Amino acid sequence: MENKTLLSVKNLRTWFELRRLGFIKVGNVKAVDGVSFELSEGEAIAVVGESGCGKSTLARTIMGLYPPTDGEISFNGFTVDAKSKIDFKAYRRNVGFVQQDPYGALPPFMTLRRILEEPMLINGITDKEEMRKRIAQALTELKLSPVDDYLQKFPHMLSGGQQQRVVIARAKILEPRLIVADEPVSMLDASVRVEILQLLKRLQETYNIGVIYITHDLSTVRYFAERIFVMYAANLVEQAPVKTLIHNPLHPYTQALLEAISDPDSKNAQTYRKVPPGEPPSLLNPPTGCRFHPRCTHRIDGLCNIEEPPNFEVESKHRVMCWLYKDSKVSKTVTEANVS
Ligand SMILES: Nc1ncnc2c1ncn2[C@@H]1O[C@H](COP(=O)(O)OP(=O)(O)O)[C@@H](O)[C@H]1O
Ligand SMILES: [Mg+2]
């Protein structure tokens, strides 16, 4: 049986209006531009893409911190709308956010006890014993024990890795159904990255929490996700289960990404030569057609440079936004969104 859908994102767009001198409208930075996907209850997915492709904007839009320019986000079957205050508060209680910079995310003058109590107080959990229990459990699960040694500490007394574990404990304390983790280990020492991802993974499995793990580092994904989404220039260009994506990448951009990491200490310079030359495009004026076409060695002239490819479903759970697969059927999520 298919798992129940937890989060559904349809044709999501988040554009930022760019003005010169504060008032002359120059255009829109299309940071997220037509993103559709579904996440099942308890599923872990990874969103991978180069810096500037729109990953954080996607995360912040899902968190309700940026209003979407267009499209729809629904959670457990209900549309997420920041304007409907009561529902939105319930949504935020169900979704935890972990960002890149743990120190910036923690109020510097609060003890860990207050930091962890605060979300509970805001959400009407005021019973002292209940709070104590939840805090002790969250800290223990994040390997911040003995708990009493940590409760009176301030964030600056902790290492970066410990700070990020506090952020994860705080995200977990309201028993969320979803955690959005935006580059949660990129700022940390390489030595603690895997451990923190494993702790997050354990929470996901123990409590059946859906996780969106956002990263520019494809090599950390296999510790974590069941599916990978590849993001390029504000689009999800390929979505597939991890093994499928690694063994059978379809989008020329995904193929290039994988080739670049397949031989990390490459004596074989060939590996690097396969990565297409050029830079990711500007999101103010992205190329027409497929945004990857200027860098793509497989492009079909007269098509790829003119018309944006839809999401083709090549096999079950494997979607790709590329004209090379135009004989596959167009994926359902996108068709539905286009109709509505
Ligand atoms: N608040 C904002 N206002 C205007 N432009 C923004 C804002 N946030 C992000 N951008 C732009 O949107 C694009 C995507 O940024 P971001 O989502 O941070 O990418 P990533 O997280 O993948 O590095 C970039 O061009 C960035 O400059
Ligand atoms: Mg980012």
What pTM value is reported for the model?
A: 0.93
Q: How far is the CA of 51 from the centre of ligand 1 (A)?
A: 9
Which atom of ligand 1 lies closest to the CA of 66? 1
Does residue 60 line the site of ligand 1, with CB under 6 A? Answer: no
Q: How far apart are CA 89 and CA 94, in angstroms?
A: 9
Does residue 31 line the site of ligand 1, with CB under 6 A? Answer: yes
Does residue 51 line the site of ligand 1, with CB under 6 A? Answer: yes
Which atom of ligand 1 lies closest to the CA of 16? 4
- For residue 51 the two structure tokens come to 């810096």
Q: What are 142-177's pLDDT values in tens digits? A: 999 999 999 999 999 999 999 999 999 999 999 999
Backbone angles phi, psi at 78, to 5 degrees: -105, 140
Q: Which ligand is nearest to the CA of 53?
A: 1
Q: What is the mean pLDDT of the chain?
A: 91
Q: Which ligand is nearest to the CA of 181?
A: 2
Q: By percentage, how much of the chain surpasses pLDDT 70?
A: 92
Does residue 282 line the site of ligand 1, with CB under 6 A? Answer: no
Of all protein residues, whose CA lies closest to atom 20 belonging to ligand 1?
Answer: 52
Question: What mean pLDDT comes out for the span 69-84?
Answer: 91
301 vs 272: which has the higher pLDDT: 301
Q: Which ligand is nearest to the CA of 182?
A: 2
Q: How far is the CA of 73 from the centre of ligand 1 (A)?
A: 20
Side chain identity at residue 231, one-letter code? M
Residue 39 pLDDT exceeds 80: yes
- Buried-state track 270-302, b at ≥16 Cβ within 10 A, e below 16: eeeeeeeeeebbebeebbebbbbbbbbeebbee
Q: How far apart are CA 115 and CA 46, in angstroms?
A: 28
- Report CA-CA distances (Å) from 145 to 105, 153, 199: 21, 12, 14
Does residue 169 line the site of ligand 1, with CB under 6 A? Answer: no
Q: How far apart are CA 46 and CA 331, in angstroms?
A: 20
- All structural domains of the chain with their residue ranges: 243-328
Does residue 172 line the site of ligand 1, with CB under 6 A? Answer: no
Instruction: Answer yes or no: are the C-beta atoms of 292 and 232 closer than 8 Å.
Output: yes
Does residue 57 line the site of ligand 1, with CB under 6 A? Answer: yes
